Amino acid sequence: MVGSGGTFRGCAETFKAHDPEITCYLVEPETAAVYAKKPLAKNGRHKVQGCGYAMDLTNIQPELVDGYLQVTDEEVIQTTRDLARLEGTFVGFSSGANVAAAIQLLRGKEKGKNIVLTLNDSGLKYLSTDLF
């Protein structure tokens, strides 16, 4: 999930320096997928906190992006809750979004491959939201 883009950029630069064939995907909320060049829906509003600002950010280097994935609020919330319930991993929205996107890839064009992703935050700051 792209917030400021710093984690994506650092990881993508490092992975591609190691092996240029590594594919790096940018994940955005479905309603605010500006990097994927999709029109804003619901005025760009979404529930995935800390990302999807619906504007270009200087940390994003388009040449590092091999593909774009969009996640819905519903799949992010369900995946985040499933991570806590099934895996004992108490994380926030953006981490759930990354896992939801990885699931999309593993069910589709990256089936059978290895996926690396980041779990960016704890679920503690989201206890007062409808996430938990």
Q: pLDDT truncated to tens, each residue of the chain (132 aa)?
A: 777 788 999 999 999 999 999 999 999 998 888 888 888 888 778 877 766 666 677 778 899 999 999 999 999 999 999 999 999 999 999 999 999 999 999 999 999 999 999 998 888 888 888 888
The 3-state DSSP class for residue 104 equals helix
Instruction: Please name which of 24, 19, 101, 18 lies closest in space to residue 60, comparing C-alpha atoms.
Output: 24
- Whether 131 maps to a domain, the answer reads no
- Name 71's bridge partners: 29
Domain that holds residue 52: 6-126
- Whether 1 maps to a domain, the answer reads no
Q: What is the CATH number of the domain that holds 118?
A: 3.40.50.1100
Q: Is the dihedral of CA 11, 16, 18, 23 positive or negative?
A: positive
pLDDT at 53: 65
- Name 29's bridge partners: 71
- Whether 48 maps to a domain, the answer reads yes
Number of domains forming the structure of the chain: 1
* Global model pTM greater than 0.85: yes
- Whether 99 maps to a domain, the answer reads yes
pLDDT at 102: 98
- Whether 114 maps to a domain, the answer reads yes
Residues 6+ apart with CB under 8 A from 7: 118, 120
pLDDT at 55: 65
